[in-house]
Structure 1
Amino acid sequence: MRLDVLGGCGAWPTAERGCSGYVVESDGFRLLLDPGYATLPRLWEREDGVYGIDAVLVSHGHPDHCPLLRARGLGERRCEALPVYAPVGSLDVVLALDRAGMLAEAYELHEFGPGQRFGIGPFTVDTWLLPHFVPNAGIRLTTGGTVLAYTGDTGPSGDIERLARGADLLLSEATYPHEVPRADADFLLSARLAGQYATRAGVGRLLLTHLWPGTDEEVATAAASAAYEGPVEVAVPGLRWEG
């Protein structure tokens, strides 16, 4: 399994970094996980651009995580409908922004309820309903004995430990380094909490993502490392992990 980071910024993209977006590849199958704002240019830098993606998996319905299908549906190159997997109803508002049916041929929507298990290409996908401002699916991808656990955007939950147990990589929400403001404390994580979950789950590596724009990466990494002794990095465009 290989993970390529397209972006890892929370809320909005900066000039250097798009929002959450990752390509997970195994056996030549390329899964686009949470394609957020400003990740499309990174896709175009890859071989075959947006046409090299085999499926899309969305964790929740905030617009910085929803698929950008116009390049496939409105461009000159015709292609098969792209399978898109998302929690029930999570894409309704975003897709409704376009004229009804305009992108209908560009995608094939497969909705799931968090808690379901299903397959996408070579991946077995297990999901958990995790707390956020909108319903969010924590995602565990397994293939060939390798496990990637991804929280999506979430607040504290005992299910995070179950989601990540024994994973080779935990890709974790970490909006703030040390403490989440009280108003958002039930819906977002700190890097410190991400480190605690990584330790409890016994993961092999921790990758912090969804950092608030302008967050000092070294401060976030240090906060996570105070609670987790394993390798810690921040998800930045161009970072690659292979397991």
Structure 2
Amino acid sequence: MQITRFGHAAVLVEAAGTRVLIDPGVFSAEEAFALEGLDAIVVTHQHPDHIDVTRSPGLLERNPNAVLIADPESAGTLAFGDWTPNADGLVTVVGDVTVRGVGSQHAVILSALPRVANVGVVLSAAGEPTLFHPGDTYEYAPEGVDVLALPLSAPWAKISETVDFVQRVSPGSLFPVHDKTISELAYGIYWQHTMNFGGVEDSRKLGQTDSDTFESA
């Protein structure tokens, strides 16, 4: 499995000859929207840092055969593309990769704000590690996760909850996503607490950039 981060929540997963892009949002690098040869594009929820409605139509034009998978609210409201609604436990097979929906709701930001739909995804294929991208929540902790795309900072999270989530999922390794809300100067505080107390190996083989590419075996 090869994983490429494109800034914040956008992750390209290449496994078993299949290419799946997750959450190309407004904080994502331009390179994410220039990708071609995608087999699927997944949106976990409707917030703009997970789906950029300005740049994504061009991405879909470059990938006309990609399967489009989104949480049910996004699938019903996005004005471009033919999106298939995702749901907790729903399985979509894309090439030789299985995409399984996990969860249903976004984490609570404020009690005054309604919770939107959020459906994370577990990606798996024969002979490959299993990857979990939760979108914006720590609520759901599926079993059998080898690699975790870990939301490192958000208006709905604090570091004790981050570490608790890592411990509950108990993956073999992890890498950070949802990290554009942290300044470069303070980044190490969040990451070191996660590494020191989460008890999980850092998957990355490159430095902290918008477009790290690494392999997980």
Map 1:128-147 → 2, pairs under 5 A: 128-129=102-103, 130-132=105-107, 133-145=115-127, 146-147=129-130
Select which of 67, 71, 93 maps to 2:58: 71
The one-letter code of the counterpart of 1:3 is I
Closer/same/farther in 2, CA of residues 72 and 124 from structure 1, 3 Å limit: closer
Map 1:183-202 → 2, pairs under 5 A: 188-202=156-170
CA deviation profile, 1:213-238 (whole Å, cap 9, x unmatched): 42622101112123222223697412
Closer/same/farther in 2, CA of residues 72 and 126 from structure 1, 3 Å limit: closer
Q: Distance in 2 between matches of 1:69 and 1:131?
A: 22
Q: Distance in 2 between matches of 1:89 and 1:131?
A: 12
Per the alignment, residue 42 of structure 2 pairs with 57
CA deviation profile, 1:134-189 (whole Å, cap 9, x unmatched): 111121111124111111111x42x22xx2x332211122215xxxxxxx6xxx33
Aligned 8 A contact 1:173 1:190 in 2:
no
Closer/same/farther in 2, CA of residues 31 and 218 from structure 1, 3 Å limit: same
Aligned Cα RMSD in Å? 2.7
Per the alignment, residue 126 of structure 1 pairs with 100
Map 1:169-188 → 2, pairs under 5 A: 169-175=147-153, 188=156
Q: CA deviation at 1:25?
A: 0.6
Aligned 8 A contact 2:121 2:134 in 1:
yes
| Structure 1 residue 240 corresponds to structure 2 residue 213 | yes
Q: CA deviation at 1:72?
A: 4.8
SS at match of 1:144: coil
The one-letter code of the counterpart of 2:5 is V
The TM-score normalised by the length of structure 2 is: 0.78
The TM-score normalised by the length of structure 1 is: 0.71
Select which of 208, 225, 228 maps to 2:195: 225
Question: Which structure is larger by alpha-carbon Rg, 1 or 2?
Answer: 1
Per the alignment, residue 72 of structure 2 pairs with 88
Aligned 8 A contact 2:149 2:175 in 1:
yes
| Structure 1 residue 210 corresponds to structure 2 residue 178 | yes
SS at match of 1:149: strand
Which is strand-richer, 1 or 2? 1
| Structure 1 residue 110 corresponds to structure 2 residue 94 | no
Q: Distance in 2 between matches of 1:238 and 1:40?
A: 8
Aligned 8 A contact 2:25 2:48 in 1:
yes
Q: Distance in 2 between matches of 1:38 and 1:175?
A: 14
Unaligned runs of 5+ in 2: 108-114
Q: CA deviation at 1:196?
A: 2.6
> Share of identical aligned residues, percent?
22
SS at match of 1:227: helix
Per the alignment, residue 2 of structure 1 pairs with 2
Q: CA deviation at 1:92?
A: 4.2
**Higher mean Cα deviation, 24-33 or 192-201?**
192-201
